[in-house]
Structure 1
């Protein structure tokens, strides 16, 4: 050992220090997460001041000064008792939401036939809930009932014209019912079709790779509103004389294909993240291409891109509001349509309706986001 290296060799042991204390409770959490540094403390104080500034007026407008019951614009166009808003204004006009609630759910669907969408909604919940709970058995049967049997039953019940049910044309459909149908069909179609497109884009066959690549790039290069406009206005021009396609069906196809292109790129990102050794190992076992993808590659790839998949689902759910361009009224469209009702015309009616629609959209999107986090944690635990 050289003389210079001796300076870097410790000759005495460090003195023993007490173990770090275990900090628990709200005070420790606050100190660690909100007041850890001077910068964190300043930001925390500013956030508290902002909340104290905005929250009381919001609560006052949303709840205290709000009009909850009534039968016309008079309950919303005047200051509520004890209210503090300017003349001609009150708090939220929730009486408007309550009076139009049925329309917000079903649109202009005939009142005497609204039991049909209610039955479809009940079947949807009854099949979806066990599908989302990992411990519930018989997932294959549940999936067949949810994605195959339910669409057939829903088609017969909602449209009618058979089995003694009166025919209800799709232009009368609207509200949350249309939003859920569009998003459910779009989600159910876009995931498998997106997987096929992603596999096709990575295919070694030039023709298939070129077709899938062109479809993905063309669809991703144009906005959804253009797809819907072309499906509604341009498509009938290419059909034979006298032949037509239902407007709602055009919207379903346009939304599904649009979401499939984005889903394909999400899935392709997951496929590219899988090491080549996984595929080579499957080849060494003599597995076919589809066995390799189904048993080894896709389960790992889809697990990696769960956030991206759910993000695409959330975007699709919100984009359903664009169907108003082709004369269909989803939840947001039917809310805006009711703004023209002179019986409820007031300065706060539009804002109240939009807040209600935004809350419903947020509720569904937040639910999908939380379930995505739950599945990520569950899959991480199951693979540890």
Structure 2
């Protein structure tokens, strides 16, 4: 067996620099070609973004309450500040908006508690978020109980309505989608057939058609003495529509799990639901986190379609403000603000999903 006799050539020491300089060197300037491409990209981005920054920030008008305050050549954010409360609360009564504030603050607290790893009692907090919080939010927002003034859903709107539709759709579509995915892979022909028909039906029609059916056609098939709230009909339609897409995402994860996992659980004497709940589903859901979050993001953006049945979400409230004769000509600012709000929420979901992927990445 040959033995190496010469010395190994000296290698470059590892780059121990940290912070912004280290990140730039590792990602943008780690070689002559990459450095040149990075410089060209920076110059092009600066040329493209500088006019936008000048319009949106430098030359913009920020303070005031009427269009007369917009005297510069940039954006008139006075339109947003003057109508900010309407954008957030819609037509909710001024004296009752504290109830919306409590619900939104509690929602933010629950999300933060469940998202931060170091906080304790996540099981109880999660149980309250799934069971207690919806009941509390329903009582506070709708009113009519415990001395609270009743506020019909036709007066809901703005960001509050967008978050309500998105939250109910997300929380409802995931468990329904999981059940449908399990049913489609069931060995019982009747259960499998029902799940296939449900999934293919809801995936085969546009969401606009679903909302029209829920708003216009559904009341024709129920007794006249039964009255379904318009928002409730929209929520049910959105849940069913996106649960069909969620079912196919989850089914893809289930099919990616080797059959040996379930066979080993059978050998240990586990029943069907224990095998699914403890062995197969946790692995499958971890694999399809990107697909699940992608469906959530699409659902969040599609909340703007509730405008066609007379519900004024965030985008619809801004469009309604643009029809005010006092604010004609500021459509760009309104649509840019709406796009920014949607981007913030969607980007936050995307980043958190990437964090969950890294945290659950344990290999195979």
Distance 1:24 1:137, change over 3 A: closer
The one of 8, 17, 23 equivalent to 1:16 is 8
Determine whether 1:50 maps to 2:31.
Answer: no
Aligned position for 2:75: 92
Kindly provide the CA deviation profile for residues 246-276 of structure 1, in whole angstroms up to 9, marking residues without a partner as x.
1000111111111111111111111111111
The offset of 1:135, in angstroms, is 3.1
Aligned position for 1:75: 69
Aligned-residue CA RMSD (Å): 2.2
Indicate the SS of the match to 1:196: helix
**Which residues of 2 match residues 195-210 of structure 1 at below 5 A?**
195-210=178-193
Tell whether the 8 Å contact from 1:105 to 1:177 is kept in structure 2 after alignment: yes
Kindly provide the CA deviation profile for residues 213-235 of structure 1, in whole angstroms up to 9, marking residues without a partner as x.
11111111222111111111111
Aligned position for 2:138: 155
Kindly provide the CA deviation profile for residues 307-350 of structure 1, in whole angstroms up to 9, marking residues without a partner as x.
1111111111111111001110111111111001111223xx11
The offset of 1:14, in angstroms, is 6.9
- TM-score normalised over the length of structure 1: 0.88
Indicate the SS of the match to 1:114: helix
Question: How many pairs align?
Answer: 362
Aligned position for 1:340: 323
Indicate the SS of the match to 2:147: coil
Aligned position for 2:282: 299
Alpha-carbon separation, structure 2, partners of 1:277 and 1:160:
52
The one of 221, 225, 228 equivalent to 1:238 is 221
**Which residues of 2 match residues 23-34 of structure 1 at below 5 A?**
23-25=15-17, 30=24, 33-34=27-28
The one of 323, 335, 340 equivalent to 1:354 is 335
Could you tell me which runs of 5 or more consecutive residues in structure 2 were left unpaired when the two chains were aligned: none
Tell whether the 8 Å contact from 2:67 to 2:78 is kept in structure 1 after alignment: no
The offset of 1:242, in angstroms, is 4.0
Larger Rg belongs to: 1
- TM-score normalised over the length of structure 2: 0.93
Distance 1:12 1:24, change over 3 A: closer
The offset of 1:17, in angstroms, is 1.9
The one of 184, 188, 197 equivalent to 2:171 is 188
Distance 1:11 1:191, change over 3 A: closer
